Structure 1
Amino acid sequence: MERLHTTVELASVTKHYSHGVTALDNVTIGFHHGTFTAVMGPSGSGKSTLLQCAAGLDKPTSGHVVVDGRDLTRLSERKLTLLRRDRIGFVFQSFNLLPSLTAAQNVALPLRLAGRLPDPELVEQSLASVGLADRAAHRPAELSGGQQQRVAIARALVTRPAVLFGDEPTGALDTNTSRDVLRLLRSLVDKQAQTVVMVTHDPAAAAYADRVLFLADGRVCGELADPTPEAVASRMLTLEESC
């Protein structure tokens, strides 16, 4: 049996905030290469903090975060910035596209910010991978909400990151459009072995993942493999009791 490579690993990660809140409490978890994990839990459970620490956007108070073989907690700010830029993709609920730029220019932006001359073929491939090869010259106002989120995903993928993090990436979309974006994420995992970690509150969205990781009060409270919307919703109802 092939040994699964761990793309992201959190080891005994704790995050305290100055106002006395413990957002993460000794969390140890791994995310394997080419898998899709949904992270769920009640409000204030630490979902977004887990994502931010895993992506190097926030520093844990203690513990270690390893991405693509690099321990983020041991990197200088400059090296951490370079790693985030080159090896970590992030998609938010808001699309964060620049309205004056075309879809292709928005996708190329991370390369330009890195001081690299964008390869038109690479930009085209990124747009094609999200089904928008024919929308390269369109500006955000000329695109639907779902298409804008697809551009945001293409932008996150243009550096060919080791992991793509999504913080409620379908939260601003209607049900049908959300389904399209989730199918896209599922396809990226199945066809391109992209590692995806997504925070969501929606059991139907979580069911697109290979597994669901449950958090409560900053702690891991179990996981569910091959999830269905019904199984996820049922686990959420009893989550705080079982943790």
Structure 2
Amino acid sequence: MTHDAVRLDAVTRTYGAVTALDGVSLALPAGSFTAVMGPSGSGKSTLLQCAAGLDRPDSGTVTVGGTELTGLSERRLTLLRRERVGFVFQAFNLLPSLTAEQNVALPLRLAGRRVPKARVREALEQVGLADRSRHRPGELSGGQQQRVALARALVTRPAVLFGDEPTGALDTRTGREVLGLLRGMVDREGQTVVMVTHDPVAAAYADRVVFLVDGRVGTELTGVDAATVAAHMTRLEAAPC
């Protein structure tokens, strides 16, 4: 039976007078690929941050891998993020003075853990960059740099991989290569991926597309193509406030 890698129950998050999330309940099954979309200001990034333990909701609960985050101390929350959660952002956030393998090893070093060379090599192989391990970011293309960032997120073998516009800085062809990698990790390795995106083509790689509107979960689509996603987004953006 499939279990939930992440679960949000009645999650609300406000910033001053703005309600970013309004009683959101959402289950993200293990081994699935979920895309989160919505008009600007709909709460997509806040949803990702709360689900990943980067931000605390005002009310409701968030559970990652069976552990409820609500009552955790900052230290325990930090440890959980290091051990169970991976992040990939639009910006690659690589250290320019370090090689690809040194950048990939960084999360383990920061956690004070031993860095098995085989683990680092495996992560680079997963993203097709085993032959670029000694190259620094300045010697790599944008797509290769994002692959290094992806390997860095995978080196801890996270239960959930969160992506915030992970292909936003890439050209179309390179972006599709990275999306293909994410899709393959879900299909072959059972990785759980949750990705915020504004791009219907990117969303079409997911098993399910969840649409947020005004901080609430609206519709969900499964097994759809980019044209269907784009048409749905157009309707949402044209809807009166």
TM-score by length of 2: 0.98
Partner of 1:8: 6
Partner of 2:21: 24
CA RMSD of superposed structures (Å)? 1.1
Partner Cα distance (1:117, 1:70) in 2: 25
Partner Cα distance (1:90, 1:13) in 2: 21
Return the offset for 1:46: 0.2
1:54 aligns with 2:51: yes
Q: What one-letter code is carried by the residue in structure 1 that aligns with 2:12?
A: T
2:6 is paired with a residue of what secondary structure? Answer: strand
1:171 aligns with 2:168: yes
Partner Cα distance (1:119, 1:137) in 2: 16
Measured against aligned partners, the alpha-carbon deviations of 1:112-169 in whole angstroms (never above 9, x if no partner) come to: 0011120000000000001101111000001000000000000000000010000000
1:188 aligns with 2:181: no
Partner Cα distance (1:67, 1:117) in 2: 25
Aligned length: 240
Partner Cα distance (2:124, 2:41) in 1: 35
Measured against aligned partners, the alpha-carbon deviations of 1:30-59 in whole angstroms (never above 9, x if no partner) come to: 101111000000100000000000000011
Q: What one-letter code is carried by the residue in structure 1 that aligns with 2:130?
A: A
Task: Indicate which of 84, 88, 93 corresponds to 1:91.
Answer: 88
Partner Cα distance (1:129, 1:181) in 2: 11
Q: Segments of 4+ in structure 1 off by > 4 A?
A: none
Return the offset for 1:242: 9.7
1:86 is paired with a residue of what secondary structure? Answer: helix
Taking only the aligned residue pairs, the percentage that are identical comes to: 69
Partner of 1:220: 217
Measured against aligned partners, the alpha-carbon deviations of 1:2-37 in whole angstroms (never above 9, x if no partner) come to: x2110000000000112x000000000010111100
Q: Which runs of 5+ in 1 are unaligned?
A: none
Q: Which runs of 5+ in 2 are unaligned?
A: none
Q: What one-letter code is carried by the residue in structure 1 that aligns with 2:8?
A: L
Q: What one-letter code is carried by the residue in structure 2 that aligns with 1:8?
A: V
1:196 is paired with a residue of what secondary structure? Answer: strand
Return the offset for 1:239: 2.3
Q: What one-letter code is carried by the residue in structure 2 that aligns with 1:10?
A: L
Partner of 2:118: 121
Partner Cα distance (1:78, 1:227) in 2: 40
Partner Cα distance (2:114, 2:98) in 1: 16
1:33 aligns with 2:53: no
Return the offset for 1:86: 0.7
Partner Cα distance (2:54, 2:233) in 1: 27
1:112 aligns with 2:112: no
Return the offset for 1:235: 1.1
